Structure 1
Amino acid sequence: MKVLTNTALVMLGLGVMLSSCSNKQQSQKTGLAYNDRTNGGYLRYRQSHPSPGPGLVPIEGGTFVLGGSADQDVAYEYNNLRRRVTVPSFYMDETEVSNQDWLDYLHWINITFPTDNELYYNALPDTLVWRKPLSYNEPYVDNYLRHPAFQDYPVVGVTWEQAQEYCVWRTDRTNENILREKGIMTTWKEQAGGGRNGQVAGAASANGAGGANAAAGVNGAAVGTADGKQPFNTDMYLNGQVQGPGIDGKNMIKDLNPNAQATNGRNGARRPARLEDGILKQGYRLPSEAEWEYAALALAGNTQFENINDGRIYPWDGLGVRSPKKNTRGLILANFKRGAGDNAGVGGGLNDKAIITAPVRSYQPNDFGLYNMAGNVNEWVADTYRQTSFEEMDDLNPFRGNEFTNKRLADPTKGQYAKDKYGRPIKDPAKSDKKLKYSDMIAQQQAQAANANQPANSAQPASGAVTANAGGVKDPLAGKAYTNDYRGYGDSVNNSLYGTTTLVNNHSKVYKGGSWNDLSYWLNPATRRFMDQGDASAEVGFRCAMTMVGAPEIYPQGKPHIPVKKAKNYKAR
């Protein structure tokens, strides 16, 4: 019996090997085999549903009524009129960004750019937001950000601009960590010299394809890092400008291109990861207002066969703010201000257990698994504020705030990006809304390269994004103006009147959700307020989101589906 069993296992193994060879993937249109070096190395990558980045949970998209959860407009602003829209599936942070998360960011800046005092200063939250003329809040000024007692509390005093910079930094650190953990880049231990020489981890020499421009940038000398190398940047890596000795790992991906040069005799040609490999994560970003409101309502928990059983005023069921469940009956479900002078209830029986903010995992998550989508701190979203946004935006993935940009090329012949002093691509206002003819594209790139050595806008943030030209960019090739700035699309707001007759302009950004110092009305996900993108508050924090690519259905198991036949392999006759 044992001999028969072993024989059966051997035959089964051979059958699997033969079937895998005979079922090699082919092009459905030409019959060419994929991933075969002998026929040119046409690539077909493993198709899979991407996993979320660290800290994120998946949000299955769908239709809902934007602004529909507001039962009243107490300010009579008419700024959240009901409109049915569709939000595609996306990922969102399970919790608000905490003080510990921000301290990680500050620590990285400190060890990577130890002499760049300006960068560190600009990343510091404004702890003076706690200062009030008639309140003794000075202990929060000194302790809230850095004291370990507050490490799990949401970071506050952060501007919209700082939140955007954090998203860029988080994207690069996440992708770098993935590549180093997989050995596609040198591992953390190898990067640190095996732990012996104290080299700072997290910086990567951007030589390789980047040449002298990659090392020095195009706007002056690169900022001095602790190890003399510029940090990893996702865009630069995907463009082939972060590779070479000391960067490439032992587990780089096999390059099936017959023109590829072998890196060594044993392993053959190797290459860095590409977007098509599905290894790197999409960029972290602020959620749009529609995404945030959809995620806060979490109507998926009240939906069956496309029927919403009950609407919601808050991220939980019911009309009240107290728990109806047996074990938690009567407890406040969010951190907010119950009334004037009542931030937490009576000593010995505190209602929401928080005088100011609360830890980011306080209270019950909503049906999407998100914590504190009502109360604790208001949260920045990506949208530029307009009173009539809900009436004017598209009904698919609505968003107001587009500033279309292109990455500047330092070397058009090689397709290499120009860098700022922090190793990030410099971004210029987009010149066109369509694909140009090849001759026009070359002429435009040459014009960009001619201006590549000019200093960047002094007001430009570290990410390289430039302030858009609201009057439109004159395209000498097309002979007409193209406006890359659509933050105030089609409205009549006059920026020259800002601060005189209006507080609304293209720097006015939306925040939502209510805070520890707000009344229960602001806990409704449809309510919206705005603040200048350069201002901060002790009542405003943020969380990040990430675009989901591919199929929108997150949990297809157990749901009916129309069967789809697989394509047959072509056999030459």
Structure 2
Amino acid sequence: MNFSKYLRFAVVGACALASCKGGPPTATKPGKYSSTTGLEYNTEEGQKVADYQGIPEGPGLIFIEGGRTVLGSQEEDVTMTHDNIERTVTIASFYMDEAEVANIHWLEYLHYARKDSSEEFYQSALPDTTVWARELSFNDPYVDYYLRYPGFRYFPVVGVSWLQANDYCTWRTAKVNEKLAGDGDDSGSSSSGGGGLFKRKSKNAAPDAAEGADGDGKTRISIENGNTLPNYRLPTEAEWEYAAQALIGTQETGNENQENKRIYPWDGRQVRNPYGKSQGTFLANFKRGRGDYAGIAGSLNDGAMITEYVYAYPPNDYGLYNMAGNVNEWVQDIYRPLSFDDVEDLNPFRRNGYLDPAEKYDKKGYQSLIDDHVRVYKGGSWRDVAYWLSPGTRRFMAEDSATAAIGFRCAMINAGSNK
């Protein structure tokens, strides 16, 4: 290498290391040259570094700023389960659906499942509409009408198991990223939306939909391009509880101490609105007491005999609707009564196969309902009393079961940022 060529390389390298103008390199402004080698990006032999303007906007999502909180039950433990004792944790920022997944969204899913996948998978994706049928009540019309009648379009989908909800998240990720990649007109980043998108993964497998890979590995959307979203998924129990608390609304400016706590996703210790023209109205859809689902005609309380419009009732301080009442919501975690004691204090999550094994629970002898296939659900529903509206309460059910009182919403990590 002659001196002039060496000098030119050294100058380029020094310029890259110092970033010359505009300060140090960032994810959105990485510069033309590597800050560690001085080699030029996006040449025939150089590394390809795609333009990146930040994570694309995910349809339906609200940003949830993370931080420190105290998880656990804020109510008296009337069930005597002692399974959610208070503890301090930190939750990273993430995204969550502003409302529960509604019937119209599930019908969209069924449309593409029938169009792109096998009849077998389509049948497996159908909600169990018979969850409305009761031996001693006349809810039979909901069996036929609740999912498909247009008037119920934006009511929360129910009759969906935890397994079905996970399949929906995988499909939604693939479809949204297919559209984003198409909008970006990125060569080699197409996705067929075909049957592979609908194949159920094993219960403990890590999802690969963020990469846009179909089940047969035929097509791929590159993560490095930055034009796609991470996985839509069920929120962890800790994320869900943190988002329901919405303690951002209780913070004093410049004061890091959390001086006010909430029993419910709103201020105060009551379930009625204490302010303004809506004073005295109920803040959630729940069962007031035995036989009282909606109040008296002419002066209804929550106004909903069953589920309600997913945007009904005031949102919490994060902008999330119905984080208490309407329907319970599935979360990712497997259920264990000692999760509060066993999990980490940063982004806690209870997965299969770690600590507190299922063998300790006598399910075969009918002394327990706990095994590795029961999942947590949270939030209370139209069929529950106010106790279950508190974010710290928790219950569980088999992952392949469904009821008329459980739905779900999706979440997503906040990739590449702490804000």
TM-score normalised by L of structure 2 = 0.85
Q: CA deviation at 1:289?
A: 0.4
Q: CA deviation at 1:142?
A: 1.0
Residues 283-294 of structure 1 mapped to structure 2, 5 A cutoff:
283-294=231-242
- 1:528 and 2:409 are equivalent in the alignment: no
The CA distance in 1 between the partners of 2:293 and 2:196, in whole Å, is 51
What residue ranges of structure 1 are gaps of 5+ in the alignment? 1-18, 192-200, 207-216, 218-231, 244-271, 403-484, 554-573
Helix, strand or coil for the counterpart of 2:244? helix
The aligned residue for residue 247 of structure 1 is none
The CA distance in 2 between the partners of 1:205 and 1:531, in whole Å, is 28
- Structure number with greater Rg is 1
Residues 401-440 of structure 1 mapped to structure 2, 5 A cutoff:
401-402=351-352
The CA distance in 1 between the partners of 2:95 and 2:270, in whole Å, is 28
The CA distance in 2 between the partners of 1:143 and 1:499, in whole Å, is 40
CA contact under 8 A between 1:236 and 1:242: conserved in structure 2? no
> Residues 475-531 of structure 1, C-alpha deviation per residue, up to 9 Å, x if partnerless?
xxxxxxxxxx33xx2446446634611001111100000000111010000000000
The aligned residue for residue 226 of structure 2 is 278
> Residues 6-32 of structure 1, C-alpha deviation per residue, up to 9 Å, x if partnerless?
xxxxxxxxxxxxx89xx9532222222
User: Relative to structure 1, is the Cα distance of residues 28 and 239 closer, same or farther in structure 2, using a 3 angstrom cutoff?
Assistant: farther
Percent identity for Structure 1 against Structure 2:
48
Q: Which runs of 4+ in 1 moved over 6 A?
A: none
Q: Equivalent of 1:507, from 356, 373, 392?
A: 373
What residue ranges of structure 2 are gaps of 5+ in the alignment? 1-20, 23-29, 200-207
Q: CA deviation at 1:51?
A: 3.5
Q: CA deviation at 1:83?
A: 0.8
Q: CA deviation at 1:47?
A: 5.2
Structure 1 residues 272-281 or 391-400, which shifts more? Answer: 272-281
Q: CA deviation at 1:310?
A: 1.4
Q: CA deviation at 1:34?
A: 2.4
The aligned residue for residue 35 of structure 1 is 42
- 1:357 and 2:361 are equivalent in the alignment: no
The aligned residue for residue 92 of structure 1 is 96
> Residues 332-372 of structure 1, C-alpha deviation per residue, up to 9 Å, x if partnerless?
00000111111000001111121100010111110111000
The aligned residue for residue 167 of structure 1 is 169
- 1:303 and 2:242 are equivalent in the alignment: no
Q: Equivalent of 1:56, from 51, 56, 61?
A: 61
Q: CA deviation at 1:110?
A: 1.4
CA contact under 8 A between 1:377 and 1:539: conserved in structure 2? yes
CA contact under 8 A between 1:49 and 1:551: conserved in structure 2? no
Q: CA deviation at 1:123?
A: 0.6
The aligned residue for residue 147 of structure 2 is 145
Helix, strand or coil for the counterpart of 2:173? helix
Helix, strand or coil for the counterpart of 1:379? strand
The CA distance in 1 between the partners of 2:109 and 2:413, in whole Å, is 22
User: Relative to structure 1, is the Cα distance of residues 202 and 352 closer, same or farther in structure 2, using a 3 angstrom cutoff?
Assistant: same
Helix, strand or coil for the counterpart of 1:497? coil
> Residues 238-292 of structure 1, C-alpha deviation per residue, up to 9 Å, x if partnerless?
999545xxxxxxxxxxxxxxxxxxxxxxxxxxxx852122111101111000000
CA contact under 8 A between 2:245 and 2:264: conserved in structure 1? yes
Aligned length: 382
User: Relative to structure 1, is the Cα distance of residues 184 and 493 closer, same or farther in structure 2, using a 3 angstrom cutoff?
Assistant: same
The aligned residue for residue 404 of structure 2 is 538
User: Relative to structure 1, is the Cα distance of residues 544 and 205 closer, same or farther in structure 2, using a 3 angstrom cutoff?
Assistant: closer
The aligned residue for residue 346 of structure 2 is 396
Partner AA of 1:90 in structure 2: F
> Residues 124-143 of structure 1, C-alpha deviation per residue, up to 9 Å, x if partnerless?
11111111111000011111
User: Relative to structure 1, is the Cα distance of residues 512 and 26 closer, same or farther in structure 2, using a 3 angstrom cutoff?
Assistant: same
The CA distance in 2 between the partners of 1:184 and 1:492, in whole Å, is 47
> Residues 291-318 of structure 1, C-alpha deviation per residue, up to 9 Å, x if partnerless?
0000000001111332324110000001
Partner AA of 2:230 in structure 1: Q
User: Relative to structure 1, is the Cα distance of residues 185 and 125 closer, same or farther in structure 2, using a 3 angstrom cutoff?
Assistant: farther
Please report the RMSD computed on the Cα atoms of aligned residues, expressed in angstroms.
Answer: 2.8
User: Relative to structure 1, is the Cα distance of residues 204 and 117 closer, same or farther in structure 2, using a 3 angstrom cutoff?
Assistant: closer
Residues 4-23 of structure 1 mapped to structure 2, 5 A cutoff:
none
Q: CA deviation at 1:203?
A: 3.9
TM-score normalised by L of structure 1 = 0.63
CA contact under 8 A between 1:296 and 1:373: conserved in structure 2? yes
Q: Equivalent of 1:74, from 74, 78, 98?
A: 78
- 1:125 and 2:127 are equivalent in the alignment: yes
The CA distance in 1 between the partners of 2:373 and 2:193, in whole Å, is 33
Partner AA of 1:358 in structure 2: E
The aligned residue for residue 325 of structure 2 is 375
User: Relative to structure 1, is the Cα distance of residues 26 and 187 closer, same or farther in structure 2, using a 3 angstrom cutoff?
Assistant: closer
CA contact under 8 A between 2:51 and 2:225: conserved in structure 1? yes
> Residues 380-399 of structure 1, C-alpha deviation per residue, up to 9 Å, x if partnerless?
00000011110111101100
